[in-house]
A and B are shown apart, each in its own frame.
Chain A
Amino acid sequence: EDKVVQSPLSLVVHEGDTVTLNCSYEVTNFRSLLWYKQEKKAPTFLFMLTSSGIEKKSGRLSSILDKKELFSILNITATQTGDSAIYLCAAASGTYKYIFGTGTRLKVLA
């Protein structure tokens, strides 16, 4: 059965800290790994990763995929209160399936 597991389930840090969020996956016909940030409403797209070892970066956020060990990490440096959200990862499998993890709830304290 296809599955995506995220850890930790929740995390509380102080502004300025660096955090690492983990996502492991087991899916058939893997195509890509996606990260989303969800605040109050719709998940918003952060990264899509298809190749191992190539870091994607956007400002203070970065992510990398390891297709051999079947995991991805999302790093956030110099965290800010605006980074507080649920971070979701999803593995794209086959023609239509995007399997989501249950998310990591991040709270950044001022």
Chain B
Amino acid sequence: TAGITQAPTSQILAAGRSMTLRCTQDMRHNAMYWYRQDLGLGLRLIHYSNTAGTTGKGEVPDGYSVSRANTDDFPLTLASAVPSQTSVYFCASSSYGQGSSPLHFGNGTRLTVT
């Protein structure tokens, strides 16, 4: 099975431009998450969704938005990119949004904002 698919793999984006990072899972997991990973700061939660139709803010939500129209897809949008959003972005999912099942990660999107 594919698990979690993220696209694109990498992207260079000019500051001020918008972009949507795509994430699709085929495991029928209820909960989905977006993290960013930066050197020395580890993985930080941007937004999450416990089930289709609901979303919530994580630790670093500013400048990002998400939607969860269905179970499988959880896109992350940067409305107006800034250089501080240069990072590696990981989408993840879990069976239950209760901290009682492990997170499964996609392969990440490396984003550079110039």
Contact = CB atoms under 8 A, between A and B. Distances in A.
A42 B33 CA distance: 14
Contacts, number: 60
Interface centre among B90, B98, B103 (most CB of A within 10 A): B103
Interface string A81-96: 0000000101011111
Interface residues of A, number: 23
B45 interface: yes
A43 B105 contact: yes
Contacts of A97: 45, 99
B99 A42 contact: no
A7 B97 CA distance: 28
A36 B77 CA distance: 27
B41 interface: yes
13 contacts: A41-B108, A42-B106, A88-B43, A94-B99, A96-B31, A96-B48, A96-B97, A98-B33, A98-B45, A98-B103, A100-B43, A102-B41, A102-B42
